[in-house]
Amino acid sequence: MSAYLAGDRHDVNDVIWAIRTLEWTIGAIFAVFIPFRWIIWAVAALYWSISLWIKKHPNPPYAQRLLRLNQTMILVDIVLLSLVVSVTGELHSQVFILYSVELLFLAIYSSIFWSLWGIAAIWVSYGLACGDWMNPELWWREFILGFIGVSATLLGVSLRHTIRKFQQNSLHLEQVMALKTLQESVLKLSSLSDSIAAILQTGIRLLDTDGGYVCQQTPTGRHVISQIGFDVSKERSFWERYESLTLDRGVITYYPHLENHAHRQTSFGLPDPKTRELILIPLRDQEAIIGIMGFTRSQKKPPLSDRRVILEGLAEMVVNQIRFEKAQISALKRGRLLAVLERVGRIVNCNLEMSTLLRSLHQASAEELEIDSFFVALSVPDDPSKILMQYLFDDGKEYAPEIMDVGAGAPTEHVLTTQEPLLLNGSMDSSQPTGSFRIPKSAIIVPLIREGQVIGAMSVQSYRISYDEDHMEFVLSVASQAAIAIKNAQLYQQTESIALTDYLTHLGNSRQFSVMLQEAVDYASSTGSSLSLLLIDSDSLKKINDHYGHIAGDAHLQFVANVIRRNVRSMDTACRYAGDEFVVILPGAHLDEAVTVGERIRREMDGKFAWNDSMIGTTVSVGAAEFFVPMTTEELFTAADRAMYSAKRGGKNRVAVS
């Protein structure tokens, strides 16, 4: 917390110091008619003098100085407040209220341990200032101060946790954006060594290491492409020893505490006797390991093994650059066809956003082939019977992504199962997915394979011409590049946390709900507008799964989602929270309005679900809660959750309020 408050965003320290100065200024104004008012005036003057001095010396370390001053003045303020209480009426003095301000400062700056000590100090100081320990009024006020202190401490813990999460997410996003910027910039460099050097420089900065290197394993031996911070050739025995261990394991290998292993320094010759950490990342091109990337660090910092996303991203870019160089050499040898592949490689490798990537892939392929229909279908994890039609262009129209069944024996299913490409001429039927459902004259369907695993299929189709083996070779080459880029785009999407839609119901998922609820609560808190929340739970899913199977259960969940979607406004947010639980955020709605929406949903659900031409008696239980300041998102959700369980206990098929 201290580090955060001392950073660039040090306005918190400014605000706290301003509050402290204003606190004593107001005290000085109201102290005009009390004895010993000069004490309060002197304290107010002291704070104003310090404020003016700070303004005249804004240079670094201004933020750190103000942070320490704010922390120190908490104790000073407690002593001064106790003195003022003592001379302005003891137990009759209303100055004790200002202790609550110091309790707030304690909660912001201190851990639970020091906050509790601060509360105890305020108790003792106030008791000593009043002197009358047997007076019930004193203990009542002590109780109030203690309650305020504990409440502020708990809020401070939540604030620090939120700030830490914000910092982690911000750092994660900054690193991902740095990787994206790097990936775009290295494509502008002409040589492999320059590209690898740029990747290493960015890696050293992101990982906060002393040096790094990349070497490639070639048929003729080990070849160092680039090195920064040390000379690998001077410690050959060291590097070959640890590289061989990493190559044998085939995974990222972390070697901490090297400074404690003197025999390693003697036997293998560390690059620096002070080196503490070494991490080696195998560069994997599908099944083959084509090289090693390594980073070293001599200072004690968070372990490099915690930066796996960055390490994998850097390694992926290095592999892409090595592969890209091979593709360029191959393009020069094989002529025009592979020259087009080189352009395709440039296009797909500079895009991490999925829709832009696939659209660019389609356009690049269309420059070489006559394409009337083009699709990229991705495998659905844990459900081989379905595919995600991520991109579909047919007969001049682009279609939205959707989940589709993979027909048994269909060409796409054959490619996904056998991992073998298909060239079809005049031998297709209507099972081949196209937007217009026309039967193509010719089609090429190839698997998208990444590290030996099929992640989907890509297809080009024509209603006019017939493709040949050369065309299929081109599509296969494009697919090999596309598989890497698509996998990178998926990783980018995961890292950016933009997968916010539940694939079964097409409502938002729990992550989207968390983000949208926090935004709604923040808006309602700042504007004073109303906000309500519905928590909807199916009473019938387990019965449907047990009696009719999970396919019927999925259909039931989709039915619930459609009912919810029909009964909410465009400004509302409906999400599938987990399993058979759904949530609806209703901005601008009071509790009675939320109950009305819940009743509409409940009535439309009551016994309306049909399966195999028969009606199934299905119901939902709904809990409704309204937001009031200063509730948190967790408290609002808990209130709706309790209301929903109250509806369950009351017999189900009803709406209950918190």
Q: What stretch of H or E contains 146?
A: helix 136-186
Q: What are phi and psi of 435, to 5 degrees?
A: -65, -40
3-state secondary structure 514-583: HHHHHHHHHHHHHHCCCEEEEEEEECCHHHHHHHHCHHHHHHHHHHHHHHHHHCCCCCCEEEEEECCEEE
- Does residue 463 contact residue 447 with C-beta atoms inside 8 Å? no
Beta bridge partners of 414: none
Q: Which residue carries 């739970």 as its tokens? A: 537
Euclidean distance between CA atoms 35 and 193, whole angstroms: 79
Euclidean distance between CA atoms 369 and 25, whole angstroms: 78
Q: Could you tell me the two tokens for 243?
A: 């590289």
3-state secondary structure of 641: helix
- Does residue 307 contact residue 241 with C-beta atoms inside 8 Å? no
Q: What stretch of H or E contains 277?
A: strand 277-285
Q: Could you tell me the two tokens for 227?
A: 């090195």
Hey, which bits of 434-488 come out as E strands? Answer: 442-450, 453-462
3-state secondary structure of 288: strand
Q: Could you tell me the two tokens for 566?
A: 């029909």
Beta bridge partners of 285: 288
Q: Could you tell me the two tokens for 142?
A: 């002590």
The one catalytic residue among 210, 502, 580, 641: 580
Instruction: Tell me 438's DSSP state.
Output: P
Euclidean distance between CA atoms 625 and 637, whole angstroms: 8
Q: Which residue carries 């001095």 as its tokens? A: 53
Q: What stretch of H or E contains 624?
A: strand 620-626
Q: Could you tell me the two tokens for 336?
A: 């025009």
Euclidean distance between CA atoms 29 and 317, whole angstroms: 65
Euclidean distance between CA atoms 182 and 196, whole angstroms: 11
Q: At what angle are helices 510-527 and 633-649 packed, to 10 degrees?
A: 110
Q: What amino acid is encoded at 260 in this protein?
A: N
Q: What amino acid is encoded at 21 in this protein?
A: T
Is 546 annotated in the active site?
no
Euclidean distance between CA atoms 403 and 266, whole angstroms: 59
Euclidean distance between CA atoms 533 and 573, whole angstroms: 10
Q: How many helices (H) and strands (E) would you count in the chain? A: 20, 19
- Does residue 214 contact residue 187 with C-beta atoms inside 8 Å? no
- CB-based burial of residue 411 (10 Å sphere; 0-12 exposed, 13-18 middle, 19+ buried)? buried
Q: Measured on CA atoms in the order 4, 5, 9, 12, is the torsion positive or negative?
A: positive
The closest of 346, 352, 345, 275 to 313, measured between CA atoms, is 352
Q: What amino acid is encoded at 311 in this protein?
A: L
CA 631 to each of CA 218, 266, 577, 627, 655: distance values in angstroms, whole numbers, following the listed order: 62, 62, 20, 7, 22
- Catalytic positions, please? 580
